[in-house]
Chains A and B, each alone.
With several copies, the nearest count.
Chain A
């Protein structure tokens, strides 16, 4: 995966967030506080305004800028979580200008680990982890099986989508939605949804 594709990914994700801003916020209104789309949109708009200053640097620097921008402009739960995802991802890839399949496996795994440490959520808690975790596992397996990056990512996105849908019947145990108890059942998790969009955008940038 080349640096231009990384930049493309971030651009596509920003566009997707903008397109789904109201939808994400509505999902959050049902089981949270009605700001997830607004938060993500604010954060990634800011990211886009910062990127030109580092576009000629290495991928690690780019992802670090994404991370720092998200951390300082999103707030809420998704700010530190997405921020930590990109921070760990950045550390994992370091000074590279292009990523191998192995690099990408490391990057995604590191990002997921960061989210787990920061948020202490487990699979089944109805959070973004329910998307990220199966997606990273699927990518991992596909690469181990010798698949190409693009195909592996296709499988990751398929798992992500399944994971996102799976959050619907779940009872939330982390984040604001957890306060709803039984009433959280039947709604799709907003953070899981934005996370699915992130992976879908990543796939798109590979094509």
Chain B
């Protein structure tokens, strides 16, 4: 393993220290327990949005803390969910009195830890809601699994909900919006190479010189299929059609009910994409794939969407939800409505997403 790190065990902390030194105007970092929060937190009267998850996906989530996006992010060890005490401490720090939304990617670890944090926050009198992102169409047979993983749509949900919170949406409104973004977003990724977790020091999985993994997860979880390397156009075609041809996705998720003061099971169904839909197209690098290649993917993606009568009205292209040094990409398509477009365009000022301010 060759990486720009010191001791593998110090990887997450030292990276946070660098962030804190680099962006004192935007964020502050608490180290024990670890969380990154807006320099101006708490913002009184505003719903606070907190996300978090294992480290190794930078800039998500730390790089999205700031005006118009997250109030705090809780980084775990590499690819390991953060812990409830981080989430609770972050909630206390950024609570502006209007409640907290936890945006949670659907992995067993993240879900369980955020659930514990929600219970703890509730027991301490902090209002918290909890929305899952489960958008990875690579996961089939979700009835027999943990369900779909949370991937690219998370970034989009954080931006859109962050703008909504900034504009004064209530806790319930932000949560409902977040659920809607999740339901309208679908993603799938692929890997050209494995990532290498610093503490392990060797690649998580082996791919031959001419092999790729379609449907990869952001922790190097295996995908749908290991195949021979294909052209960018073929890869893009397969990924895009997996999203477009995906049938409505039905599942039951556990959400915290503020009134019943308990967990309730909620059945959710993704709508499918239809001709004429307006989309946000997000082409993401897994970390080691350069921008030039992402544009080649975007080129084909735009062509396919066009052929299907889908209109890309916004896009995001770059490394936003990565898997350490993995080479590969993911595609997320989010069906937009006017409200989402307005919120997407709203000002955002974070270390790694910034516009209109």
Contacts and interface: CB of A to CB of B under 8 A. Distances in A.
Given A176-B108, A176-B219, A75 B77 contact: yes
A183 B226 CA distance: 12
A119 B108 contact: yes
A75 B109 contact: yes
Contact of A75 (B82, B199, B200, B222): B82
Contact of A79 (B79, B113, B145, B205): B113
A176 B107 contact: yes
Contacts of B85: 71-72
A114 to B, nearest CB: 11
B30 interface: no
Contacts of B97: none
A74 to B, nearest CB: 7
A190 to B, nearest CB: 13
B81 A34 contact: no
B113 A80 contact: yes
B144 A173 contact: yes
A81 B108 CA distance: 10
B140 A33 contact: no
A180 interface: yes
Interface in A108-122: 118-119
A38 interface: yes
Given A25-B200, A176-B107, A33 B221 contact: yes
Given A34-B200, A119-B108, A175-B108, A76 B80 contact: yes
B141 interface: yes
A119 B139 CA distance: 19
B173 interface: no
A77 B116 CA distance: 12
Given A34-B200, A72-B83, A180-B221, A79 B144 contact: no
B217 interface: yes
Nearest to A173: B144
Looking at B86, B115, B221, which has the most chain A CB atoms within 10 Å of its CB? B221
Given A79-B83, A179-B217, A173 B145 contact: yes
Contacts of A173: 144-145
Interface residues of A, number: 35
Interface in A26-41: 29, 32-35, 38-39
A20 interface: no
B77 A39 contact: yes
A77 B149 contact: no
B221 A183 contact: no
Contacts, number: 113
Interface in B35-89: 54, 76-86
Interface string B211-230: 00000010111100000000
Interface residues of B, number: 37
Which secondary structure dominates where chain B touches chain A? loop
Nearest to B77: A75
B347 interface: no
Contacts of B80: 33, 35, 39, 74-76
A73 interface: yes
Given A174-B108, A183-B222, A33 B79 contact: yes
A33 B220 contact: yes
Nearest to B113: A80
A35 B199 contact: yes
Given A173-B145, A179-B217, A80 B109 contact: yes
Nearest to A83: B116
Residue among A75, A118, A171 with the highest chain B CB neighbour number at 10 A: A75
Contacts of A179: 139, 145-146, 149, 217, 221-222
Contacts of A81: 112
Contacts of A186: none
A90 to B, nearest CB: 15
Contacts of B144: 171, 173, 178
**Most central of A74, A81, A171, A183 by chain B CB within 10 Å:** A74
B274 interface: no
A77 B222 contact: no
Given A176-B107, A179-B149, A180-B222, A38 B199 contact: yes
B33 interface: yes
B204 interface: yes
Interface string B99-129: 0000000011100110110000000000000
Interface of B: 33, 54, 76-86, 107-109, 112-113, 115-116, 139-141, 144-146, 149, 197, 199-200, 204-205, 217, 219-222
Given A33-B219, A176-B108, A179-B217, 8 more contacts: A29-B205, A38-B200, A71-B83, A72-B84, A74-B83, A77-B109, A79-B109, A175-B146
